[in-house]
Amino acid sequence: NIVYLNGEFLPIEQASISVMDRGFLFADSVYEVIPVYAGRPFRLVQHIERLNRSLNAIRLSLSDLNIQWNDLFSELISQNNLQQGSLYLQVTRGSPSKRDHRLADETQPTVFIKADCLASNSSKTQNEPEALKVITVDDFRWQRCDIKSTGLLANCLARQMAEDQQASEAIFIAGEQVNEGSASNVFIVEQGVIKTPPLSNNILGGITRDLVLEMADNNGWPTEQSSIRLEQLYHADEVWLTSSSREIQPVTQVDDKTIGDGAIGPLWHKIVHEFADFKQRLFSG
Ligand code: PMP
């Protein structure tokens, strides 16, 4: 596995950073996971835009480094012979000489990119869809979930709570309000309308979320970005999770409640069909 670290391409075993790195000490760091299909990054522009929003939000500028993401990704994809998988990209505020809460700006950021072959079975989802069970947990995260920060301890703990109950994901609920999964966005279908919580500080604006809304609009399927209550989630006709690695997955159980009639819903079949077509069109020719 060849990775990119601070201007160099090298085997992962040889890639190392300082123990003073602020990514390590403070999780002072942001990241992206970019799917790769047919050897090409998927929705690259959107991922880079979101990275820039995260960097701005944490007041970290890469302008001195003059990074050409396109070139780095192409090189890494080719060096790893990656066809289907993802790129993991992380930027930290680097390694100052002293541990200090203040955001010293003279340190060089750390830029790390790794190529991963597809581990999940996401491309199989269409042929052999797996209906998921999820749990809900109190949203005990900070109030800037719109930043794609590597400070993911709350997300990891929540995901483990799901795991402990043989569930695939934990959905964060604040009061009565559905926010998002530990690493995914949430959609429900209610009387034919595809609904997802609106963008806010409480959720990460998922690239897959945007794509689902876009595909629904293109097909004239009604969508609504509005807050969703826990009761609505329990009584929805369909529930989906979306993320770059999960793509669009159907949920048929939330806590001890069965969703709809317990079978994967018709709109899910339509949207994944559309998603497959979308990728096909993009990468054919
Ligand atoms: N919310 C959270 C908390 C996430 O970690 C992710 C996955 N990165 C998402 C939503 C989905 O975002 P995307 O579709 O861009 O992968």
Tell me the best of 88, 157, 210, 243 to mutate to test the pocket of ligand 1, counting ligand atoms within 8 Å of each CB and taking the most: 243
Is residue 190 domain-shared with residue 234, that is, in the same domain?
A: yes
Band the pLDDT of 284: cuts 50, 70, 90: confident
Task: State the pLDDT at residue 124.
Answer: 47
pLDDT value for 123: 53
Whether residue 42 is found in the same domain as residue 149: no
Task: Verify that 110 and 131 share a domain, yes or no.
Answer: no
Answer yes or no: do 51 and 7 share one domain.
yes
* pLDDT tens readout for residues 110-155: 999 999 988 554 554 555 788 999 999 999 999 999 999 999 999 9
Angstrom distance (rounded) from CA 191 to CA 210: 21
Chain-wide mean pLDDT for the chain? 95
Residue nearest to atom 1 of ligand 1 (CA): 184
Model confidence at 258, in pLDDT bands (50, 70, 90)? very high
Going from the Cα of 106 to the center of ligand 1, the distance in angstroms, rounded, reads 31
Predicted confidence (pLDDT) per residue in 63-83, tens digit: 999 999 999 999 999 999 999
Short-list 113, 152, 136, CA closest to 188: 136
- Residue 94's pLDDT band (cuts 50, 70, 90): very high
Which of 100, 119, 138 is a domain's end point? 119
Q: Say which residue the tokens 């929003």 belong to.
A: 53
109 and 132 in one domain? no
Ligand 1 closest atom vs CA 47 = 15
Q: How far apart (Å, rounded) are the C-alpha atoms in residues 136 and 75?
A: 41
**Average pLDDT of the residues in 156-175:** 98
Q: Which of 119, 134, 157 is the last residue of a domain?
A: 119
Q: Is there a single domain that holds both residue 246 and residue 225?
A: yes
Q: Specify the pLDDT at position 121.
A: 47
Phi, psi of 278 (to 5 degrees): -60, -45
Q: Are residues 275 and 155 in the same domain?
A: yes
pLDDT > 90 in the chain, percent:
92
Closest CA to 155 of 131, 179, 120: 179
Rg (CA), the chain: 20
Same-domain pairing of 166 and 278: yes
> What is the Å distance from ligand 1's center to 30 Cα?
13
Q: Determine the average pLDDT of the residues in 35-63.
A: 97
| Final residue before a domain boundary, out of 119, 142, 174 | 119
Same domain for 98 and 225? no
| Residue 205 in tokens | 């604006």
Q: Determine which helix (DSSP H) or strand (DSSP E) holds 180, and give its type and residue range.
A: strand 177-181
Q: What are phi and psi of 204, to 5 degrees?
A: -85, 130
Q: Are residues 211 and 272 in the same domain?
A: yes
**Predicted complex: ipTM over 0.90:** yes
Distance CA 180, CA 185 (A): 5
Q: What is the pLDDT of residues 185-244, one digit of tens each?
A: 999 999 999 999 999 999 999 999 999 999 999 999 999 999 999 999 999 999 999 999
Same domain, 148 and 267: yes
Domain that holds residue 200: 124-283
Contacts 24+ apart (CB under 8 A), 5-14: 5/110, 5/111, 5/112, 5/113, 6/108, 6/110, 6/111, 6/112, 9/75, 9/76, 9/79, 12/114
Q: Distance, CA 33 to ligand 1 centroid (Å)?
A: 9
Residues 76 and 176 in one domain: no
Catalytic residue among 98, 114, 124, 148: 148
Interacting residues of 4 by C-beta distance below 8 A, sequence separation 6+: 72, 75, 76, 111, 112, 113, 114
Question: Confidence band (pLDDT; 50, 70, 90) for 285?
Answer: low
Of 204, 208, 209, 211, the one to substitute when testing ligand 1's pocket (max ligand atoms within 8 A of C-beta) is 204
Question: In terms of Cα–Cα distance, which of 139, 143, 145, 142 is closest to 54?
Answer: 145
Determine if residue 94 is left, alpha or beta; phi over 0 gives left, psi from -120 to 50 gives alpha, anything else beta: left
Q: How many domains does the chain have?
A: 2
Give the tens place of pLDDT for each residue, 179-194.
999 999 999 999 999 9
Residue 210 — φ and ψ, nearest 5°? -60, -40
Active site annotation includes 148 = yes
Residue nearest to atom 12 of ligand 1 (CA): 206
pLDDT at 46: 98
208 lines ligand 1 (CB under 6 A): yes
The CATH number of the domain holding residue 56 is: 3.30.470.10
- The lowest-confidence range among 40-44, 50-54, 123-127, 174-178 is 123-127
Query: Hey, is 22 helix, strand or coil?
Result: helix
From the centroid of its chain, how far is CA 170?
14
